[in-house]
């Protein structure tokens, strides 16, 4: 059974396509990586072609087309003749997380929160025995995602894209008095009417001049960092209270979370720390880019009476192998080498303070770089943050995340536990230990937290070998891992794009497949 999942929505974001073969997710690509338009919502014709090619399929081989969202565009070309089924937006979010989760046959609570989708801002489900059962949908006018997005825009950022910047900025501010102002206009616990008339009117038209007037009245002349801090604390308090209520109703101690609100890694840390939460899972593509996979999962489950949860790999996109890397290097006329021990060579360069990009193997699934489209640097000197921000034209207050060997993770992040699979995908933060503060200060945010990728060798052998060799050379099992892209550009996909960004950013070296390119040799 071959199911093609599609998500596209005019006015939305992150169109994508995914391929499921006999219930296993084998390929997924967002259209932005093909078109190079950040957050592209157009019909994902390029992504459809790419996932079919990655899976070794033709369009004729597809048995079912699964569409995420009631308002999605219809399949084009030969796919228009295929049986097509629609999966509502929130259900696709729920399915994208539940069927990728590590919880097998266990009974779990599945919660979604985002801006809006199919007139809803969130939902609650029970996941059990390979099936999802709906409990409740949340109305659009109670959208925590829209509120966060509206304030993101008010602060001068891009709504739907820069909420993470607001989260980073929040660590520099004080939550009061903005927190109290938000609480005074809210009805905690009543998610059918979460906000008062003023905030409710704002969410009906969050990008209008009226909304800006409401926010100007609400924010006054407070510093931006205090507004961000108040908003973040408000989000944590409201969502955590709601999560505890749902856990009591559902009688669960494990949670699966999806939707753009749960891209908020600090919120996810707070949820994991709640009494009664034994574990949680946030998938690597928790936002709208994961809807195509969710739709495909759900349709397969409907046709087969369920689907046992499992995500075999987070590397589901375009492949950079030896042949494609060599072709790109020869076409560009760049000098390169093929070290006998690539991992040891790269680790030594990192130990010397060089900044190295890695574009090798299949592209990551979701917004986080997980080693295959990554920029690495020593995290021992915090001055590297300013240099990286300058080179990639990024915001100066944003933290950089670390990758760390699984065997050393608990020493650097005491709250981490080996069964917390979400940490493999950088979807939540942890408090950093004194050892982390000493050895990797560049990867610890001003609030004392970090968002690690905890790395097992079986997940990414080549990346792991570099980190292991770096640990041997320096005694430190962690380096900075940031995404390989210029600011406001999608993460690089192909070998050609990797070389272009490497040169634009002025990095010291590039790992391209099995090859090493040194800037000093050009």
Q: What is the pLDDT of residues 334-379, one digit of tens each?
A: 999 999 999 999 999 999 999 999 999 999 999 999 999 999 999 9
DSSP 38: T
Nearest by Cα to 243 from 263, 227, 262: 262
How far is it, in rounded angstroms, from Cα 446 to Cα 170?
A: 10
Say which residues have a Cβ less than 8 Å from residue 400's Cβ, sequence separation at least 6.
379, 384, 385, 388, 442, 443, 480, 481, 482
Question: Do 309 and 300 touch, CB atoms closer than 8 A?
Answer: no
Positive/negative CA dihedral, 80, 82, 83, 86: negative
Nearest by Cα to 100 from 283, 261, 252: 283
Say which residues have a Cβ less than 8 Å from residue 452's Cβ, sequence separation at least 6.
401, 402, 403, 404, 409, 412, 413, 416, 423, 426, 430, 443, 478
pLDDT at residue 72 in the model: 67
Tokens 């779990």 identify what position? 108
Nearest by Cα to 358 from 472, 479, 463: 463
Question: Does the domain made of 317-521 have the CATH classification 3.90.870.20?
Answer: yes
Q: What pLDDT, in 10s, does the model give residues 185-211?
A: 999 889 999 999 888 888 888 888 888
How far is it, in rounded angstroms, from Cα 109 to Cα 94?
A: 10
Q: Which CATH number fits domain 101-282: 3.40.50.300, 3.30.830.10, 1.10.8.100, 3.30.420.40?
A: 3.30.420.40
Q: How far is CA 214 from CA 157, 200, 201, 209, 259, in A?
A: 18, 10, 9, 9, 26
Q: Containing H/E element for 30? A: strand 24-30
Is the pTM here over 0.85, yes or no? yes
pLDDT at residue 78 in the model: 65
Same fold? 2-91+290-312, 101-282: yes
How far is it, in rounded angstroms, from Cα 68 to Cα 435?
A: 45
CATH top-level class for 2-91+290-312? Answer: alpha beta
Quote the Cα angle for 321-325-326, to 5°: 115
Nearest by Cα to 339 from 517, 520, 519, 521: 517
pLDDT at residue 398 in the model: 77
pLDDT in tens, the chain (522 residues): 999 999 987 667 899 999 999 999 999 999 999 999 999 999 999 999 999 999 999 999 999 999 999 876 677 776 878 999 999 999 999 999 999 999 988 999 999 999 999 999 999 999 999 999 999 999 999 999 999 999 999 999 999 999 999 999 999 999 999 999 999 999 988 999 999 988 888 888 888 888 899 899 999 999 999 999 999 999 999 999 999 999 999 999 999 999 999 999 999 999 999 999 999 999 999 999 999 999 999 999 999 999 998 898 999 999 999 999 999 999 999 999 999 999 999 999 999 999 999 999 999 999 999 999 999 999 998 889 888 888 888 877 778 999 999 999 999 999 999 999 999 999 999 999 999 999 999 999 999 999 999 999 999 999 999 999 999 999 999 999 999 999 889 999 999 999 999 999 999 999 999 999 999 988
Question: Do 108 and 139 touch, CB atoms closer than 8 A?
Answer: no
Structure tokens at 256: 């699966």
φ, ψ at 87 (rounded to 5°): -120, 125
pLDDT at residue 292 in the model: 97
DSSP string across 362-411: EEESSSS--SSEEEEE-SS-TTHHHHHHHHHT--TTPPPPEEEEGGGHHH
Domain ranges of the chain: 2-91+290-312, 101-282, 317-521
How far is it, in rounded angstroms, from Cα 128 to Cα 299?
A: 16
How far is it, in rounded angstroms, from Cα 216 to Cα 181?
A: 12
């Amino acid at each position: 059974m071959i199911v093609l999942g599609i998500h596209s929505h005019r006015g939305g974001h992150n169109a994508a396509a995914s391929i499921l073969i006999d219930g296993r997710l084998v390929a997924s690509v967002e259209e932005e990586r093909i078109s190079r338009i950040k957050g592209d919502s157009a019909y994902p014709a390029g992504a459809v072609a790419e996932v079919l090619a990655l899976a070794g399929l033709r369009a004729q081989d597809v048995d079912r087309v699964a569409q995420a969202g009631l308002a999605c565009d219809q399949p084009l070309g030969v796919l228009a003749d295929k049986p097509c089924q629609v999966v509502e937006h929130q259900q696709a979010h729920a399915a994208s997380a539940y069927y990728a989760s590590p919880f097998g046959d266990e009974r779990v609570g599945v919660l979604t929160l985002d801006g809006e989708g199919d007139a809803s801002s969130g939902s609650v489900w029970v996941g059990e025995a390979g099936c999802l059962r709906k409990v409740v949908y949340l109305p659009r006018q109670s959208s925590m995602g829209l509120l966060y997005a509206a304030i993101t825009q008010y602060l001068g950022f891009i709504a739907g894209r820069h909420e993470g910047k607001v989260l980073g900025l929040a660590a520099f501010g004080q939550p009061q008095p903005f927190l109290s102002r938000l609480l005074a206009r809210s009805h905690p616990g009543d998610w059918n009417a979460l906000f008062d008339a003023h905030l409710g009117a704002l969410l009906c038209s969050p990008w209008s001049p009226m909304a800006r007037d409401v926010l100007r009245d609400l924010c006054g002349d407070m510093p931006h960092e205090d507004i961000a801090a108040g908003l973040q604390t408000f989000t944590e308090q409201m969502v955590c209270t709601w999560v505890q209520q749902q856990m009591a109703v559902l009688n669960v101690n494990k949670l699966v979370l999806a939707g753009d609100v749960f891209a908020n890694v600090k919120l996810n840390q707070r949820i994991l720390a709640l009494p009664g939460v034994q574990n949680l899972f946030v998938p690597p593509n928790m936002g709208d880019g994961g809807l195509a996979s969710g739709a495909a999962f759900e349709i397969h489950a409907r046709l087969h009476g369920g689907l046992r949860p499992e995500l075999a790999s987070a590397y589901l996109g375009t492949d950079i192998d030896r042949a494609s890397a060599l072709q790109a290097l020869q076409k560009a006329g760049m000098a390169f080498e093929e070290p006998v021990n690539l991992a040891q060579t790269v680790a030594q360069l990192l130990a010397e303070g060089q900044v190295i990009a890695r574009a090798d193997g299949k592209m990551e699934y979701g917004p986080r770089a997980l080693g295959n489209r990554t920029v690495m640097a020593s995290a021992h000197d915090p001055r590297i943050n300013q240099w990286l921000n300058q080179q990639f034209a990024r915001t100066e207050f944003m933290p950089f995340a670390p990758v760390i060997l699984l065997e050393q993770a608990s020493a650097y992040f005491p709250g981490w536990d080996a069964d917390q699979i979400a940490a493999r995908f950088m979807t939540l933060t942890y408090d950093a230990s004194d050892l982390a503060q000493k050895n990797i200060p560049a990867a610890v945010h001003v609030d004392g937290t970090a968002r690690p990728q905890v790395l097992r060798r079986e997940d990414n052998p080549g990346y792991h070998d570099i980190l292991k060799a770096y640990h041997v050379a320096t005694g430190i099992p962690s380096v900075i891992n940031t995404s390989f892209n210029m600011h406001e550009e999608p993460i690089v996909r192909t070998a050609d794009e990797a070389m272009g960004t490497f040169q634009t950013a002025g990095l010291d070296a590039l790992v391209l497949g099995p090859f090493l390119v040194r800037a000093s040799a050009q």
